[in-house]
Each structure stands twice: as C-alpha cells, then as structure tokens.
C-alpha cells in the first residue's frame, strides 16, 4: 500500500455514477471505493483539528480557499475557524459557505488518506460531494469545482445515500461528527477514521499511523507525526 512518497502520483480514481440503482452492475470493481456525501447543513467541525495536525490536509484546504476567497464577502477561513459560538461561525449554516467548506474538507481528507497510503479505485458522490468526487477523479479542475459549490442550487440532501457496490471496502469521505478531544493523540484519530469505513475488512490505521515518526515517510509525504 505504501510506496516512496516522492514518486507517488496524484491518484486518478474512476468516477462512478452517483444514482445507480441497488441492482445495477458496477462498471468498475476494486478493493476500495470512496463515497463523498452531500452537504447536510452541519459544519465540518473536524476541519480545524485536521488542519492543525496534518500538513497534507492543510495544503489541500489552503488551495481551495485561495480559489474561492475572491468570490466570497468574508474569507472562507474566517467562517471555518471562527470560535464555535462566534458570529462568523454561523456563516457555515449558509450554503454559500457551508458547501465550499465541505468541499474543501472532503478534498483535503482524500489527499490526506492518499499521503497515508490509502488509494481508492473509484469515487462517487452526491450534490457537493459529487463535485469533490469529480475533482479528485480529474474530471473537474479545482477552480471550476470550487466555484460550482457557490452556484449549485438546492438545500441540504435529505435522501439516503447508497454505498457503491462491487468493492471490498468503502469509505465515506465526510466530517467525523465527534471531534477527537486531543487532535495529536494517535488513538483519537485512528478511532475517528475507523468511523468513516462502512464496508469491508478494517483498514489498519494503527500500522499507517505508526509510520509517522520524526524522520519517517509521513513527514516526507507532507503528513506530520502524530506524536508531537
């Protein structure tokens, strides 16, 4: 699963149709698929802790806000990193901020998983999540996908999201609703990531995180050690 981080290319997973029926035969099969759910009106509360812990996550999220800030009355980071009960934090209830914030979180988390050695065969999504899936699959550039989060019509998704068939493992690329109390504790993040796996043999997050020593491959790949 791991390889030299300096030679690993950006993943280009297959992009699956998001609304295939339960009896449909998938065009792509493989070990791992990632599902990007739609915005549900709730803020991605784990953005702050992931951003402060993992440089790979931070770099991907910063690229998104650089593409969007010129289009927003208030910079996205002001809403995402506002104090929980502050005035700016309420902006994330507005789809103009909530949807881009989710998109940035999903793309950044997917890039973090890649840096850890987790590569998906295919991706799919709904609503805002479909834009994130299309971007990481290479079908939409970052600026185009980010700007579409501002123009996408409709409110939070209320339909039950189906999981793609034909894959041994499925991960949901979404916020962990219970933020780990101490972001730098390996056990906290391993438990958080385990919540996001919905099918298949459990990913050994212990092994992946254990490689994050001060001079190990996670530092080289842009992911900080969890022991500091």
Residue boundaries of the structural domains of the chain: 30-220
- Per-residue confidence (pLDDT) for residue 85, from 0 to 100: 78
User: Is residue 100 scored above 90 in pLDDT?
Assistant: yes
Model confidence at 184, in pLDDT bands (50, 70, 90)? low
Residues with Cβ within 8 Å of 215's Cβ and at least 6 positions away in sequence, in order, are none
pLDDT of residue 163: 67
Contact by Cβ (8 Å): 123, 18: no
Cα 117 from Cα 85, distance rounded (Å): 36
Flag whether pLDDT at 22 surpasses 60.
no
For residue 8, give both structure tokens: 């690993």
Q: Which CATH class is domain 30-220?
A: alpha beta
Taking residues 56-65, what's their average pLDDT? Answer: 92
Which residues, at least 6 apart from 13, have a Cβ–Cβ distance to it below 8 Å?
A: 34, 119, 120, 121, 122, 123, 136, 137
Q: What's the mean pLDDT when you consider all of the chain?
A: 76
CA–CA gap between residue 77 and residue 13 (Å, rounded): 29
Cβ neighbour number for residue 218 with a 10 Å cutoff:
25
- 55, 72, 57: which is closest to 113 by C-alpha? 57
At residue 155, does pLDDT exceed 50?
no
14-26 burial string, b = 16+ CB within 10 Å, else e? bbbebeeeeeeeb
pLDDT at 32 over 80: yes
* 129: alpha, beta or left? (left if phi > 0; alpha if psi -120 to 50): alpha
Q: What is the distance between the alpha carbons of residues 155 and 173, in angstroms, rounded to a whole number?
A: 20
Percent of the chain at pLDDT above 90?
29
199 pLDDT band (50/70/90 cuts)? confident
For 67-84, how does the pLDDT look when each residue is reduced to its tens digit (9 = 90+)? 888 888 889 998 998 887
pLDDT range class, residue 37, cuts 50, 70, 90: very high
């Amino acid at each position: 699963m791991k390889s030299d981080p300096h030679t690993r290319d950006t993943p280009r997973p297959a992009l699956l149709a998001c609304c295939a029926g339960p009896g449909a035969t998938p065009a792509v099969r493989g070990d791992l698929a990632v599902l990007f759910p739609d915005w549900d009106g709730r803020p991605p509360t784990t953005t702050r802790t992931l951003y402060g812990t993992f440089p790979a996550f931070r770099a991907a999220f910063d690229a998104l806000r650089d593409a969007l800030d010129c289009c927003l009355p208030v910079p996205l980071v002001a809403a995402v990193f506002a104090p929980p009960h502050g005035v700016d934090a309420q902006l994330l209830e507005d789809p103009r901020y909530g949807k881009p914030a989710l998109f940035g979180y999903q793309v950044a988390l997917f890039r973090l998983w890649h840096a850890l050695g987790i590569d998906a065969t295919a991706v799919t999504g709904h609503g805002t999540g479909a834009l994130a899936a299309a971007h990481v699959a290479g079908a939409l550039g970052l600026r185009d996908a980010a700007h579409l989060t501002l123009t996408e019509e409709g409110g939070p998704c209320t339909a039950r999201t189906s999981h793609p068939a034909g894959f041994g493992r499925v991960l949901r690329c979404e916020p962990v609703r219970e933020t780990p109390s101490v972001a730098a504790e390996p056990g906290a993040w391993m438990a958080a990531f385990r919540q996001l796996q919905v099918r298949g043999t459990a990913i050994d997050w212990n092994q992946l995180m254990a490689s994050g020593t001060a001079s190990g491959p996670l530092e080289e790949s842009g992911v900080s050690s969890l022991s500091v």
